[in-house]
Amino acid sequence: MCPAKIAEGEQRGFVIPIGGGEERLEDPVILQRFVDMCGGKDAHIVIIPTASTLAKTGPNYEVVFSELGAKVTVSVLINSRDDARNSEYLEEIEKATGIFMTGGNQLRLSTILGGTPAAQAIRRANAAGVHVAGTSAGAAIMPEHMIAGGPTGALPSEQGVTLAPGMGLINKLILDQHFSQRNRLGRLLSAVSYNPFAVGIGICEDTAAFIGPDGVLEVVGSGTITVIDPSDLEYSSMAEAQEGESITLIGLKLHLLSSGAKYDLSSRQASPS
């Protein structure tokens, strides 16, 4: 699935995956920057709490974004595929200057939203310049291919990751969240080894990738983003590996990027802050 087409004269909005655990009170640099980008005191932020089963998730983010200066903050309670066709919810998404998908369970998010008018509305909004952010599960669903699960650990293996279709807001990468906190290097390496087309990015908690319409990623937050660049991969044993067997990968390039550092997903060049 590719990002929605951009109309003539339009520019795509930012796509902002957050690794989860973003600071909301003391120094909320990620959420504050998101609000400012969406219009600050004129921002109209629509929250999609579908990934969470907790009733307070959406209202909590409404308060957070209001305190950060947004003019309108509203939760769209999409808890079923029928909800994802609700015309009032679709109209709310169309009015947004920013869309925020909360954490929870990414499979709940994908099975409820996938292929629905609500998902299409989010994709169209981003193509028309609306910024779309997501934390944890809300970040995982953003690429064309979503990491749905997999064991922890540093080593890739034949059964090291489970993939599912994502929302397709961006198709040049595959990402994982809570990255260093939950030791997820192995499953991201496994995902990249399936097809070296995609760059792998692992996002720590309280860290975000602000990905602009030019395909340049900027790191914001207190942690790091691990970039796995397979463009010069010389060999992968994934195709020959037996069930559960460890994988050989030769020629991978790895970057560790902290706040202010950038990575160009097209040229695959990293630069310091």
> Does the active-site annotation cover 178?
yes
Catalytic residue among 52, 75, 110, 136: 136
Q: Which residues are CB-contacts of 88 (< 8 A; sequence separation ≥ 6)?
A: none
From the candidates 75, 178, 193, 218, give the one annotated as an active-site residue. Answer: 178
- Give the list of residues 6+ apart from residue 146 with CB closer than 8 angstroms, or none: 106, 110, 140, 163, 164, 165, 166, 167, 174
Dihedral, CA atoms, 220, 135, 57, 128, nearest 10 degrees? 90
Task: Check if 136 is active-site.
Answer: yes
- CB-based contacts of 12, cutoff 8 Å, min separation 6: 3, 6, 126, 127, 129, 213
CA distance 167 to 120: 9
Residue tagged active-site, from 205, 218, 236, 255: 205
Residues serving a catalytic function are: 136, 178, 205
